[in-house]
Structure 1
Amino acid sequence: MGLISLLWGIVAMLWMVLALIPLLGWGNWFLIPFAAVGAIIAAVGILFTRTEHRGRAKAGLVLNGIVIVVGIIRLSLGGGIV
């Protein structure tokens, strides 16, 4: 679960960089739920793995959390459209 959430977070981060380009801000409407699913996968990975194997899941949770916050800020700045 940790590796999946980490890879999910990397894909979300790359998608976020593309959504920061003007006129591509509509991608944040799809990006935020995508990153939320990654955060849920990371949370499951943190809860149901042993203590010494939680690093990747924590990194995935942080990446997905950053993407969600930046996506929400970008949507609020653009009025939800651009």
Structure 2
Amino acid sequence: MGLISLLWGIVAMLWMVVALIPLLGWGNWFLIPFAAIGAVIAAIGIAVTGSGKRGRAKAGLVLNGIVILVGIARLSLGGGVI
């Protein structure tokens, strides 16, 4: 679960970089739910995995959390959130 969430977070980060380009901000509407699913996978990975092997799941949770926050900020700056 940790590896899946980490890879999910990396894909979300790459997608976030593309969505920061002007006129491609509509991608944030799809990016935020995508990263939220990755955060849920990471949370399950943290809950299921032993205490010594939670690093990948924690990194995935942090990456997906950053993507969610930046996506929301980008939407509110661009007027996408009413």
Pairwise TM-score range, normalised by the shorter structure: over 0.9
Q: What SS does the corresponding residue of 1:45 show, helix, strand or coil?
A: helix
Q: Does 1:22 align with 2:14?
A: no
- What TM-score, normalized to structure 2? 0.97
Residue ranges of structure 1 left out of the alignment (5+ in a row): none
Q: 1:27-81: CA deviations, max 9, x gaps?
A: 0000000000000000000001100110000000000000000000000000008
Distance, in Å, in 2 between the alignment partners of 1:68 and 1:23 is 19
Q: What SS does the corresponding residue of 2:16 show, helix, strand or coil?
A: helix
* Identical amino acids, percent of aligned pairs: 84
CA RMSD of aligned residues (A): 0.9
Distance, in Å, in 1 between the alignment partners of 2:31 and 2:46 is 22
Residue ranges of structure 2 left out of the alignment (5+ in a row): none
Distance, in Å, in 2 between the alignment partners of 1:77 and 1:58 is 28
Partner of 1:12: 12
In structure 2, give the amino acid aligned to 1:19: A
- What TM-score, normalized to structure 1? 0.97
Q: Hey, which bits of structure 1, 4+ residues long, moved more than 3 A?
A: none
